Amino acid sequence: NPAKIKYHPINDACWSKGQEVPYLALATTLEEIEATSARLKMIEILSNYLRSVILLTPEDLLPSIYLCLNQLAPAYHSLELGMAETYIMKAVGQCTGRTLAQMKSAAKATGDLGLVAEQARATQRTMFTPAPLTLRKVFAALKEVAQATGHASVNKKIGKIQSLYVACRHSEARYLIRSLEGKLRIGLAEQSVLQALACACAASPPAGPSAGAVDVSAEMSPEKYKARVEEFALTIKTTYCECPNYDALVPVVLQYGVERLPEHCRLSPGVPLKPMLAHPSRGVADLFARFDGENFTCEWKYDGERAQIHVPGNGAPDVGRASIFSRNQENNTSKYPDVIGRLPKLLKASVHSCVLDCEAVAYDKQSGQILPFQILSTRKRKDARESEIKVQVCVFVFDLLYLNGEPLVRRPLDARRALLRDHFNEVEGEWQFARGRDCSSTEEVELELSEALRGSCEGLMVKALEGERARYDIARRSHNWLKLKKDYLEGCGDSIDAVVIGGFHGRGKRVGLYGGFLLACYDPETDAYQSLCKIGTGFSDEDLRTLSATLQSHAIDAPRNYYRYESSLAPDVWFAAASVWEVRCADLSLSPAHHAALGLVDREKGISLRFPRFVRVRDDKTPEQATSSRQIADLYLAQDQVKNTMKRPSHAD
């Protein structure tokens, strides 16, 4: 914590003002971050680097941030890295005179292709020294690699990788290769990057119109700096929630300063925001304890796919430019041409732009029946032709986040709901408002829950109606939305979304397929996958055939060095963390064999699922969005049995 924070150029930056940032500057920063496990230290290291970039080469701030996050564009552009390992191995092997088999065995020994590539590059002799890589060049090349499609593109990609690889110095090769693999593995979460940006901006001379108005040689007291960091971090993080797009955010920071972000980057149709999420509850009594005298509503929890519908417009809605985004901000517009086609029926004449939060549910119009999620998942996922669509959907609208130029997220739910009902039409079997009732007694909640279950829903979403608590908490898993699923009647309060990291060869009827799997939860603190349970039930024969085929493409030679498991649980085949499955279980128990949530509840034991069974594949979740270690610990602790044990004094007391 420096005694005084000065506005001054960073002396130890390895490039000078106006010069393109060398890729080595970023690689060295990532290397330092990788070497520490303390989050605050990581933020400090990154903010120093970003500060140098802001002062010396501000044009490189945007690619710097993207590369730290291993992203190339906003998530909704679906431009992703994550090349097949074999191609990367081929590229590196060809440059360094190693066969594919040699590359494979080296990768198996270290569990990290990035390190293998770095070591191979260090011992490689070249006839001439290529020009040092710049950050901009690497970013542009990675974009080209990600954009290239089709069969013929493979050689082009390999060529591109090789031209970068031969120019790599020191740790550059490690991070280049890891970027291509789709995972940096340095434990840097997005929130830390945003915090580092806030620290860097707070220690930089003011941007925009006030630039020059401040004596840049002046010093700032640590107290003033701390207050400025807090204010900037709050502004950057809230703005990013409403407008998760660095392409929009970073230029504003540089041109006008952090203070003016909210007026330039607001929630707007076309840019998907991260949705509000709910906490599980443990039954009706739990709801009343949480809402303690406040009014709440119990909406039916439909079992389909989240659909955030954006209609831009100025004076009149521009339905032709409407988009539908998934829970993950992926663009699902081409999956739902039928829904887009029906938009005019939903919008009353008073609507010229809006953002709606909805659930798209498979629906049988003739019988007026909601169909199970499994039916919805058979719909084509992209470029569906309306005439070929077999599974019809009804969209259940449950929230209105933006209307006619105004973000509504800070207004309470009762006001948003009133606007929704005033400005939008219901159309039987096509557009319906989420059913529900404002409840004030246990009997009312229980009645609504049983009606929701009879209506083929998963349970209830219980939401605060009035006041501060009833705002739409963008990107947050909030206690102001509680889910009451039928799972709570059966055992554990919620289903769990786990990552498949290994497979066991099947026997008997399952020979030739995988018969069981090793599942893990994700720990964002350490960026690791911790084993959670073995699973072998809940699969139909057909499920096992399709899942085995999909998983085959994720098979890797050795476990990743960020997998945490006991060797006695090692599966026959390891998988790269890619598939997320929803599973249910009877309950959660402490386990000496599994590593999930290790240290959170018990110093030496992890938590494991008892009697887990497969429910479905969660295509709409990335592995990092799987149930986290903290959530596993919370679910474990919320179990009545555990609560009772913890209340009882132990013998030692």
Which of 281, 652, 246 lies closest to 463, judged by CA?
A: 281
Query: What's the min distance (Å) between Cβ of 448 and ligand ATP?
Result: 12
Positions in 390-449 near ligand ATP (CB under 6 A): 398, 434
Query: What does residue 457 show for φ and ψ, rounded to 5 degrees?
Result: -100, 165
Q: What angle do CA 284, 287, 293 make, to 5 degrees?
A: 120
Question: Which bin fits 538, alpha (ψ -120 to 50), beta or left (φ > 0)?
Answer: left
DSSP, res 134: B
Q: Which is nearer to ligand ATP, 522 or 574 (CB)?
A: 522
Token pair belonging to 156: 């082009």
Q: Is 301 a catalytic residue?
A: yes
Query: What's the min distance (Å) between Cβ of 305 and ligand ATP?
Result: 7
Q: Which is nearer to ligand ATP, 114 or 436 (CB)?
A: 436
Positions in 496-515 near ligand ATP (CB under 6 A): 497
How many angstroms separate the CA atoms of 633 and 36, rounded? 25
Q: Which is nearer to ligand ATP, 85 or 494 (CB)?
A: 494
How are beta strands 514-523 and 587-591 bridged, if at all?
A: unpaired
Single residue of 34, 359, 523, 634 touching ligand ATP by CB under 6 A: 359
Place of tokens 């929130």: 191
What is the torsional sign of CA 125, 130, 134, 138? negative
**Total of residues contacting ligand ATP (CB under 6 A):** 13
Tell me, residue by residue from 254 to 283, as one string, x for binding to ligand ATP by CB under 6 A and - for no binding: -----------------------xx-----
**Which residue is nearest to ligand ATP, using beta carbons?**
306
Q: Which is nearer to ligand ATP, 298 or 340 (CB)?
A: 298
Query: What's the min distance (Å) between Cβ of 623 and ligand ATP?
Result: 13
Which of 495, 496, 394, 488 lies closest to 449, judged by CA?
A: 488
Note whether 327 binds ligand ATP by CB under 6 A.
Answer: yes
Measured between alpha carbons, how far is residue 124 from residues 86, 95, 96, 114, 177 in Å?
20, 9, 6, 15, 16
Query: What's the min distance (Å) between Cβ of 190 and ligand ATP?
Result: 16
Q: Which is nearer to ligand ATP, 172 or 303 (CB)?
A: 303
Note whether 461 binds ligand ATP by CB under 6 A.
Answer: yes
Q: Inter-axis angle of helices 190-202 and 61-69, to 10 degrees?
A: 150
Note whether 482 binds ligand ATP by CB under 6 A.
Answer: no
Query: What's the min distance (Å) between Cβ of 582 and ligand ATP?
Result: 7
With H, G, I as helix, E, B as strand and everything else as coil, classify residue 465. Answer: coil
Query: What's the min distance (Å) between Cβ of 503 and ligand ATP?
Result: 23
Give the long-range contacts of residues 138-144, CB within 8 A, separation 24 or more: 138/23, 138/67, 138/164, 138/176, 139/63, 139/66, 139/67, 139/72, 142/67, 142/72, 142/81, 142/179, 142/180, 143/72, 143/73, 143/79
How many angstroms separate the CA atoms of 535 and 264, rounded? 49
Positions in 280-309 near ligand ATP (CB under 6 A): 299, 301-302, 306
Catalytic position from the list 90, 160, 301, 485: 301
Question: Which bin fits 37, alpha (ψ -120 to 50), beta or left (φ > 0)?
Answer: alpha
Query: What's the min distance (Å) between Cβ of 483 and ligand ATP?
Result: 5
Positions in 53-82 near ligand ATP (CB under 6 A): none
Can you say how many angstroms the Cα of residue 364 is from the centroid of all Cα atoms in its chain? Answer: 32
E strands, 365-467, are 369-370, 393-403, 406-407, 431-433, 436-439, 459-464
Single residue of 121, 160, 483, 595 touching ligand ATP by CB under 6 A: 483
- Helix, strand, coil percentages (3-state) for the chain, rounded to 5, are 40, 20, 40
Buried b (16+ CB within 10 A) or exposed e, 627-646: bbbebbbbbbebbeebeeee
Query: What does residue 451 show for φ and ψ, rounded to 5 degrees?
Result: -70, -40
DSSP, res 649: P
Query: What's the min distance (Å) between Cβ of 398 and ligand ATP?
Result: 4
Note whether 492 binds ligand ATP by CB under 6 A.
Answer: no
Query: What's the min distance (Å) between Cβ of 495 and ligand ATP?
Result: 7
Q: Which is nearer to ligand ATP, 55 or 354 (CB)?
A: 354
Q: Which is nearer to ligand ATP, 112 or 582 (CB)?
A: 582
Q: Which residue type does 62 have?
A: L
Is 15 in contact with 56 (CB distance < 8 Å)?
A: yes
Q: Which is nearer to ligand ATP, 469 or 483 (CB)?
A: 483
DSSP, res 234: H
Q: Which is nearer to ligand ATP, 199 or 394 (CB)?
A: 394
Which of 175, 67, 32 lies closest to 117, judged by CA?
A: 175
Positions in 21-50 near ligand ATP (CB under 6 A): none
Query: What's the min distance (Å) between Cβ of 193 and ligand ATP?
Result: 22
| Max Cα-Cα span within the chain | 81
Q: Which is nearer to ligand ATP, 529 or 565 (CB)?
A: 529
The catalytic residues are 301
Judged by the rule CB under 6 A, the positions of this chain that interact with ligand ATP are 277-278, 299, 301-302, 306, 327, 359, 398, 434, 461, 483, 497
